[in-house]
């Protein structure tokens, strides 16, 4: 019997996007295994439950669970995976969508290699009208990547959102799922924990769509220093709990602090350019937060741009785009090419 793949959709008041999300999970071209869609509604007040019930009557692969009380985001994510029946799971936020080739691209990689914890591809970023804003390609080639090598990259670059990943459910559960101590950065924390459990496979092909949604929690966290601070806390917690075999990753702490300083500066520039009523105040706070992470951030072009903008001086021009072609990162150490038949 083919392994079942569970698309796990936690939902809170995302009715305008929810049907599109569910349909994209069901509409998998040449899916190599049985599918189900598990929606856990976190006490929405926008009619989401009735919408899912209608879709479930039409397609038995759709299941709905409504929480008795509203849970934290991390707890609701855990609930969806707890209720899943599949050997493989993909966590899809209710305003996102999957490409028709998601299952056909990633499931065979896990089927062929029991040593993989998850397989992942790339994504399209979309706006509220489903228009593509950007298409990502992080690595140059399809590859099998050692988990610890990918963890070293992931410590400084959150380059894969959850609906890019197809994860073995057993590993998700064994890793403890989403840590409910975190309000928002539990996905970053979870991916790092998964990478301690084995290797991963990467395919440079878009397998999903990630919505840039001002109403989403990720967008709301942009307007608060707490977002960057929680990302930092999640990664520090991971470093503090490393087993001996991965202890060398603690040497990444200085680079991690520098990365979070750059993230704070980029958020500050974004807020300053927005129409947020407190954009200037928050941008000033981001400037100071960057120095809290890394005093050497003062010497960076990003710091100069934000500081100049805040005091009204002409901003230094942004760095000229690189003439180098292709993705910005080489494959990590130890990565090996995937078989052409599997990688497409």
The whole-model pTM stands at 0.92
∠ CA 296-298-302, nearest 5°, is 115
Q: Which residues contact 20 (CB under 8 A, 6 or more apart)?
A: 97, 130
Predicted local distance difference test score (pLDDT) of residue 221: 65
Q: What is the pLDDT along the chain (344 residues), one digit of tens a residue?
A: 466 999 999 999 999 999 999 999 999 998 889 999 999 999 999 999 999 999 999 999 999 999 999 999 999 999 999 999 999 999 999 999 999 999 999 999 999 999 999 999 999 999 999 999 999 999 989 999 999 999 999 998 889 999 999 999 999 999 999 999 999 899 999 999 999 999 999 999 999 999 988 766 665 665 678 889 999 999 999 999 999 999 999 999 999 999 999 999 999 998 888 888 888 999 999 999 999 999 999 999 999 999 999 988 766 565 555 444 556 789 999 999 987 445 55
% residues pLDDT > 70 (the chain): 91
Predicted local distance difference test score (pLDDT) of residue 328: 74
Q: How far is CA 273 from CA 133, 177, 282, in A?
A: 18, 37, 12
Q: Which residues contact 65 (CB under 8 A, 6 or more apart)?
A: 38, 39, 40, 41, 79, 83
Helix axes 225-240, 186-195, angle to 10 degrees: 20
| pLDDT tens for each residue of 60-99 | 999 999 999 999 999 999 999 999 999 999 999 999 999 9
Predicted local distance difference test score (pLDDT) of residue 216: 63
Predicted local distance difference test score (pLDDT) of residue 317: 60
| pLDDT tens for each residue of 15-44 | 999 999 999 999 999 888 999 999 999 999
Predicted local distance difference test score (pLDDT) of residue 322: 46
Contact 160, 96 (CB under 8 A): no
How far out from the chain centre does Cα 160 lie?
5
Per-domain boundaries in the chain: 219-311
CA distance 143 to 327: 14
Both structure tokens of 225: 């220093």
CA distance 4 to 216: 29
Q: Which residues contact 298 (CB under 8 A, 6 or more apart)?
A: 291
């Amino acid at each position: 019997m083919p392994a079942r793949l569970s698309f796990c959709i936690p939902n809170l008041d995302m009715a305008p996007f929810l049907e599109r999300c569910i349909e994209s999970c069901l509409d998998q071209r040449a899916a190599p295994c049985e599918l189900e869609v598990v929606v856990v509604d976190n006490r929405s007040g926008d009619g989401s439950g009735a919408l899912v019930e209608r879709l479930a009557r039409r397609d038995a692969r759709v299941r709905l669970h409504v929480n008795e009380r509203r849970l934290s985001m991390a707890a609701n994510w855990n609930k969806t995976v707890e209720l899943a029946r599949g050997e493989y799971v993909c966590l899809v936020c209710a305003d996102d969508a999957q490409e028709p080739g998601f299952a056909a691209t990633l499931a065979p990689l896990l089927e062929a290699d029991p040593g993989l914890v998850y397989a992942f591809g790339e994504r399209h970023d979309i706006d509220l009208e489903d228009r593509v804003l950007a298409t990502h390609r992080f690595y140059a080639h399809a590859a099998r990547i050692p988990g610890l090598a990918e963890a070293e990259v992931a410590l400084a670059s959150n380059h894969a959102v959850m609906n890019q990943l197809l994860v073995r459910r057993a590993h998700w559960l064994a890793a403890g799922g989403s840590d409910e101590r975190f309000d928002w950065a539990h996905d970053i924390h979870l991916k790092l924990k998964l990478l301690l459990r084995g290797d991963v496979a990467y395919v440079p092909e878009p397998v999903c769509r990630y919505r840039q949604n001002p109403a989403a929690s990720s967008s709301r966290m942009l307007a608060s220093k707490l977002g960057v601070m929680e990302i930092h806390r999640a990664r520090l917690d991971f470093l503090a709990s490393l087993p001996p075999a991965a202890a060398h990753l603690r040497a990444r702490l200085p680079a991690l602090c520098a990365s979070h300083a750059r993230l704070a500066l980029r958020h500050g520039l974004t807020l300053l350019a927005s129409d947020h009523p407190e954009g200037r105040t928050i941008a000033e706070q981001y400037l100071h937060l960057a120095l809290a992470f890394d005093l050497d951030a003062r010497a960076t072009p990003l710091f100069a741009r934000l500081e100049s903008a805040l005091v009204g001086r002409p901003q230094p021009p942004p760095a000229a785009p690189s003439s180098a072609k292709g993705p910005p990162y080489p494959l990590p150490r130890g990565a090996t090419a995937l078989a052409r038949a599997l990688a497409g």
